[in-house]
Structure 1
Amino acid sequence: MRDFALAPATVQPLTGGLADSLFETAARNPTLPLIAHRSDPSSEVWEEITAVELRDEVVDLAKGLVASGISPGHRVAIMARTRYEWTVLSYALWTVGAEVVPIHPTSSRDQVEWILRDAGCVAVVVEDEQGVMTVGSVCATLKGLRHVWQLDAGALEDLAARGEFLPAATVDSLRRIVLPDATAVIAYTSGTSGRQMGCALSHRGLASPCDTLLAGWGHTAAPPGEQGRILAFLPFSHVYGLMIQGLCIRGGLLMGHEPDLSAQAMSSALRSFRPTYFYGVPSVFEKIYKNFLRAAQQSGRGALFERAAETARDFAAATERQRLGRGSGPGLDLRLQHAVYERTVYRRLRSAFGGRVGRATSGGSPLSRELSLFYEGIGIYVHDGYGLTETSGGLTMQPLGREKSGTVGQALPGMEIRVAADGEIMVRGPAVFQGYVHDRMATRAALWAGWLATGDLGRLDSEGYLTITGRKKDVIITNSGKSVAPAALEQRLRMHPLVHQAVVVGDNRPCVGALITLDPEFLAHWQAGLMMQGDASVREAREENALREEVARAIAAANSTVSRSESIRVFRLLPEPFDVANGLLTPSMKLRRDAIVERYAAEIDVMYQTRSRPSGSGVPEEPAGWDDSDNVFR
């Protein structure tokens, strides 16, 4: 095995709990704005909350929690979207030494029951009546659950009123006895297969990657002399969202909460909040790119966009070779072309993010090198990050001035990474979790002499850059014994504008196949551009044939990156997308492969039965403007 680690970070050791940083900021810089939120989703006015105002709200709520019987070590679940109250609640709970148990608000009844029981929660905070009904349906089986508080019914105000008689010194004394190695969060894994497991994350573990990133890279979050602004919209029920919250509070960045992920709300939030740094998951960056392309085509500028995109990728690749010492950088012709597109195209594309974003982070799953180069070329460098629930978030980062697209960078200072002989990534360091609650066997299986077996596959190059190639348990073995890692094929397929999602299958099958869902917006745009002649039945048949050919081209492009034995030979188009609501995606937007294969077992069987047809890549079944580039989510 080879291992790499950067020099230890020069960060101040944690001496208390996560809440301390808020109290320290309030004492040092009380008027610094830390939080921004909109009371009305249609408004473009953001209300800013200063450090001292946030601290006072946290103290008032903490007193109410103590008055309600919440003590150090108690576990309280938060089942809500990414909203201002989530931040106040979590810091109030950490102030009194309680442990936060995040639950995604769309979780099923069974998932909610399992998490509340397994964690032993004494209280749960829900967002609305639907949350009350979900928890209410399982309350009878949860003897230890004492409180169900509803945010939309004024729960925080009621709690603050309940604790008015307590002096602030009461909660301050509780805060001061919280130790760095005390458990702060019980974060349940995404559950891509099997039962979700609760990862015990300490205050030190959650703070470590945040403090290391802030020490080495914090100055990149905004132009010199400006306060960084980050729009928080991914769920705080996932460790990625919790890490963003920690970075903002610990680093003094202004965090805007946007709970509504609709196209209209997101577009309005980006335009009005104008973040200086952006973060998301690959599907967000893929969607934005496809919307750029669709808007350009609808306005008759599709060819212009494609030339500009190609120039952006070429310029970024040449710039990368220069910074890595492998080339002289973009030539004169390329620089001139890039300058022209900067004036005519790239500035407008950046306006979709609010116009101030210069760097971004993608996490949750690998981001394609092609997409990373595109964004860098238009002026937004997107760092592809890597981390796990079990590591409290981030493990790697791109070294400044030596960024390498297509990789997730190098190990963060203080963290170590190894790649085992079978390709599995092993990590060690202060961010590694304490273990799975109530499951010593699973903890022992995951931790080997302090090294965490991540379950991810990857490779380290000679300079310590890590590339993620897939999940160990996702590797497909055909009946001829060929092993195929599906991630790269799926990533390449999603680059085609028509392809929304792709799941590669083929275990114990004669060849590799794919289940594909289509992007509804781009499909409608594509259909409108066909202009088929003839009556309805003729047009429908021609459109179906054209769609088959277009998807076959997307598959051929993906197959060009792998050997013939690894290539997709059959595929099937599905009538509905994989999402959290139908149980086929995790809350962190990862595929539930086992559930997908089970749900579509009949379709998979038919797909392989028809593989003898002469179509080059299989026969799919029938699937169920430029000036608007600022609305990238619709």
Structure 2
Amino acid sequence: MSEIAVPQSFSIPENVSMADSVFRHEKESPEFVAFERPMDGKWVKVSAREFADQVRSVAKGLMASGVEFGDRVAILSGTRYEWVLLDYAIWTAGGVTVAIYETSAADQSKWILEDSGTSILVVEKDEYADVVREVADAAPALREMLTIEPGSGGKSAVEELIARGAAITDEQVEERRAQVVAESGATLIYTSGTTGRPKGVLLKHRHLYAESTACAIALPESMQAGRRTLLFLPLAHVFARLISFSAFDSRVTVAHTSDLTTLLDKFAEFQPDFILSVPRVFEKVYNSAKQKAYDGGKGKIFEKASDVAIQYSQSLETGGPGLGLKIKHAVFDRLVYSKLRAALGGKASMAVAGGAALGARLGHFFRGVGVNVLEGYGLTETTGGIIMNTPAAQKIGSVGKPFNGCAAKIAEDGELLLKGPQVFEGYWQNDEATKDAIREGWFHTGDIGAIDENGFVSITGRKKELIVTAGGKNVAPAILEDSLRAHPLISQVLVVGDSKPFIGALITIDQEALPGWLERHSLPAGTPVADLIKNADLIAEIDTAVADTNKKVSKAEAIKKYRILDTDFSIETGELTPTLKLKRNIIHEKHGSEIASIYN
């Protein structure tokens, strides 16, 4: 099968706004607990009525601050309640939310602020303000910067905006809100391209509405009133954002945390019914459980329990487990599986994974344990998820079937093409990139895929050079590679890390620069690179070059480990094109062991 289309069973109102649900909940279910906030060691409930009051008040403050319909307001913050409050307030005031990672380097923030024409920037902490202050001052459209959690004595962004909006009436807010329609811009999210310069993806209210509706159709058991989830992925990422507004629309209670070091404690406290995560978190849960078992002398028990969980899951696709497997599974459920479920809060029987490949083995393991991880696929350009495994239709190892109203097709070169009501219309102020991405009505993902006879989509490779780490972070290798190649001692660099926990690199030494370096370090002329790979002075110099390069990107994009090769890439060996571009696939094949050693 080369194409699959799922009929659309819902319509999108012409005047829809994503802020509508705030005031609908206020009217229809005012006591619905929309959020729980961690305050003074406790989870404090926020009702739909309280949330609507706060959204309305902050929106008034934005209007009093000069935010007009269509103006861009940026949020640079970790995942927290105020992020969502500001998001809905911006929509209520008719604005467009610009999402910026709190880990973004100053240069990245500079480009986003200038390209988006952001008028107000809200940062989480003073330390973030210090990082971006210089570039913020240079952004021509930016009028001011507010802080969510300022130092002692300072007024928070929310407090400041509420105070400013005191003279704005409810009627004025409603007039502004009425200007927002389905075709109005809702958010501007910047996604890395292979050139390294982020491209702005403008998503409209109708895109977000379609995504929320399709998500509710795909996950009826999770997206329903009374369910609970804990969001810990960055809200600047479209994946977390879609769950945020989809959950709110469906009256799911949401809590937030950005401290991954205390994540298991938060799971235990909040006890979510379902979890949204990237595969790396599930890998960590598995690896830490395995390591803990070995440390306690129970490694063999864990290995057997793991094998039984995988067998049990696999049997569900072939008629179900036999009596013997059921008995083994029940035994290990008491010994091992129940403890793993407890680590996730004890109530979660389902999770959604995206942003990177999960892997069939891990998928079967968790389903066998009793936490069914539903893998999906999507991009910023598709408002997050557009293909997904669901409780009703799942094939572990695939990313599932297209959402309601969406279509997928495999092009002649194997590239995955997509259509759907949540697919964006084009990049912000970048017609050339838009023409390249959207052709004949199909969005070209840059990924290589396949569709089986039952309509399940699998991602088999990556057409473009963009790297997606196991944590779901998009990394453009060109920035890192170009910067490192500027060092006189370095000839070529290949950045790696696709579906890996961090970014690494292979580095080759410039043979022409080597003689002078050897002389300066009083080493024999002609010393081969193979004898220098562990030389302290050489390593120190490369370390410095890597450190300088890492200053240009966020922490998640920084090179954590590298390997120096004893031979250079060349046209003759087939590793470079005639124009000296890297043949990445060839290098990966030839130097697979060196790449693997980075992650050992």
Q: TM-score, normalised by structure 1?
A: 0.75
AA partner of residue 28 (structure 2):
R
Contact 1:78 1:124 (8 Å CA) reproduced: yes
**For the residues of structure 2 that align with 1:314 and 1:473, how far apart are their CA atoms?**
35
Q: Conserved in 2, the CA contact under 8 Å of 1:62 and 1:171?
A: yes
**Distance verdict in 2 for CA 1:57–1:618, change over 3 Å:** closer
Structure 1's 201 and 347: CA in aligned 2 closer, same or farther, altered over 3 A? same
Q: Determine the structure 1 residue equivalent to 2:258.
A: 259
- The match for 1:245 is 244
Name the SS of the counterpart of 2:149 in structure 1: helix
The C-alpha deviation readout for 1:560-616, integer Å capped at 9, x for no partner, is: xxxxxxxxxxxxxx999x99x9479878x6xx6xx869x95844748999x9xxx99
SS at match of 1:470: strand
SS at match of 1:427: strand
Read off the aligned partner of 1:437 and give its amino acid letter.
W
Residue of 332, 341, 345 corresponding to 2:336: 345
Q: Which residue of 2 aligns with 1:383?
A: 374
Matched-pair contact (CA < 8 Å) for 1:36–1:255: yes
Aligned counterparts of 2:259 and 2:146: Cα–Cα separation in 1: 21
Contact 2:280 2:501 in 1 (8 A): no
Distance 2:266 2:136 in 1: 37
| Equivalent residue in structure 2 for 1:364, among 351, 355, 364 | 355
Find the counterpart in structure 2 of residue 17 from structure 1: 17
CA shift at 1:401, angstroms? 3.3
Q: Of 402, 409, 414, which residue of structure 2 is paired with 1:418?
A: 409
- In structure 1, the partner of 2:120 is 123
2:448 aligned with 1:446, yes or no?
A: no
CA distance, structure 2, for counterparts of residue 127 and residue 423 of structure 1: 42
| 1:141/1:446 CA distance change after superposition, 3 Å | same
Mark the CA change 1:220 to 1:39 in structure 2 (over 3 Å): closer, same or farther.
Answer: closer
Counterpart mapping for 1:392-471 below 5 A: 392-471=383-462
Tell me the alpha carbon deviations over residues 64-114 of structure 1, each in whole angstroms, 9 at most, x when there is no partner. Answer: 111110111100110001011101101000001100000001111100110
Cα offset, 1:147, TM superposition: 1.3
In 2: Cα distance, 1:118 partner to 1:600 partner: 33
Residue equivalent to 2:26: 26
Q: Indicate if the aligned counterparts of 1:73 and 1:98 stay in contact, CA closer than 8 A.
A: yes
Q: Distance in 1 between matches of 2:543 and 2:330?
A: 43
Query: Counterparts of 2:595 and 2:123 in 1: how far apart (Å)?
Result: 46
Residue 168 of structure 1, CA deviation: 1.0
Supply the distance in 2 between the matched residues of 1:422 and 1:7 (Cα, whole angstroms): 26
Q: Are the equivalent residues in 2 in contact too, given 1:221–1:276 (CA < 8 A)?
A: no
Kindly provide the amino acid, as one letter, of the partner of residue 395 in structure 2.
Answer: K
In 1, the alpha carbon distance for the partners of 2:208 and 2:85 equals 17
Conserved 8 A contact 2:105-2:554:
no
- Equivalent-residue separation in structure 1 for 2:408 and 2:267 (angstroms): 36
Give the 5 Å matches for 1:61-460.
61-153=58-150, 154-191=156-193, 193-220=195-222, 227-261=226-260, 263=261, 265-321=262-318, 328-460=319-451
Distance 2:140 2:282 in 1: 44
For residue 518 of structure 1, report the CA deviation from its aligned partner: 11
Mapped partners of 1:63, 1:345: distance in 2: 53
Q: Percent identity?
A: 35
Kindly provide the CA deviation profile for residues 29-73 of structure 1, in whole angstroms up to 9, marking residues without a partner as x.
Answer: 000000111124xx2x20110111000000000111111101111
SS across alignment from 2:130: helix
Query: What stretches of structure 1 of length at least 5 have no aligned partner?
Result: 322-327, 476-485, 495-502, 504-511, 521-573, 625-634
Q: Residue 237 of structure 2 aligns to which amino acid in structure 1?
A: H
1:14-38: CA deviation from partner (whole Å, max 9, x where unpaired): 6321100111111110000001111
**1:174 maps to amino acid:** R
Distance 1:405 1:513, change over 3 A: same
Looking at structure 1, the residues matched to 106 and 256 of structure 2 have their Cα atoms a distance apart, in angstroms, of 26
Change (3 A) 1:89 1:623: closer
Does structure 2 retain, via aligned residues, the 8 Å contact 1:16–1:177? Answer: no
* Per-residue CA distance 1:462-492 (angstroms, 9 max, x = gap): 11100011210249xxxxxxxxxx99xx98x
Q: For the structure 1 residues 605 and 89, does the alpha-carbon distance in structure 2 shift closer, same or farther, using more than 3 Å as the test?
A: farther
Change (3 A) 1:518 1:25: closer
Q: What amino acid maps onto 1:464 in structure 2? A: G
How many aligned residue pairs are there? Answer: 517
Any conservation in 2 of the 1:221–1:229 contact (CA below 8 Å)? no
2:178 is aligned with what amino acid?
A: R
Equivalent position SS for 2:9: coil
Summarize the Cα distance change of 1:58–1:514 in structure 2 as closer, same or farther, 3 Å threshold: closer
User: Is the alpha carbon distance of 1:367 and 1:147 closer, same or farther for their aligned partners in structure 2, counting shifts above 3 Å?
Assistant: same
Native 8 Å contact 2:381 2:424 kept in 1: yes
Task: Flag as ranges the 4+ runs of structure 1 deviating above 3 A.
Answer: 10-15, 190-193, 399-402, 512-520, 581-587, 599-609, 615-624
RMSD of aligned residue pairs (Cα, Å): 3.5
The answer as to whether partners of 1:192 and 1:586 remain within 8 angstroms in 2 is: no
Alignment match, 1:523: none
TM-superposed deviation, 1:220 = 3.5
Amino acid at match of 2:34: L
Whole-angstrom CA distance in 2 between matches of 1:452 and 1:336: 48
| CA positional deviation for 1:332 | 1.3
437-446 vs 183-192, which moves further = 183-192
Farther off after superposition, 69-78 or 183-192: 183-192
Shift of 1:186: 0.7
Q: Taking structure 2 as the reference length, what is the TM-score of the superposition?
A: 0.79
The 1:515/1:117 distance shift into structure 2, 3 A limit, reads closer
Contact 1:117–1:142 (CA under 8 A) maintained in structure 2: yes
Decide whether the 8 Å contact of 1:64 with 1:162 is kept in 2: yes
Give the letter for the 2:220 counterpart: G
Task: Verify the 8 A CA contact 1:218 1:251 in the aligned structure 2.
Answer: no
Give the equivalent residue in structure 1 for 2:35.
35
Summarize the Cα distance change of 1:277–1:516 in structure 2 as closer, same or farther, 3 Å threshold: closer
Q: Report which stretch shifted further, 11-20 or 21-30.
A: 11-20
CA distance in 1, matches of 2:348, 2:566: 43
Letter aligned with residue 80 of structure 2? R
Q: Distance in 2 between matches of 1:395 and 1:338?
A: 34
CA deviations 1:135-183 (Å, max 9, x no partner) are: 3211342221111111113121111011111111111121122011111
What is the letter of the counterpart of residue 267 of structure 2? L
CA-CA distance at 1:12 after TM superposition? 6.1
Opposite residue 441 of structure 2, the aligned amino acid is G
Whether the 8 Å contact between 1:426 and 1:452 is mirrored in structure 2 is yes
2:35 maps to amino acid = I
Conserved in 2, the CA contact under 8 Å of 1:228 and 1:254?
Answer: yes
Partner of 2:531: none
| Distance verdict in 2 for CA 1:35–1:406, change over 3 Å | same
User: 1:336 Cα deviation (Å)?
Assistant: 1.0
Residue type matched to 1:374 in 2?
F
- Rounded Cα–Cα distance in structure 2 between residues aligned with 1:319 and 1:115: 47
Change (3 A) 1:67 1:516: closer
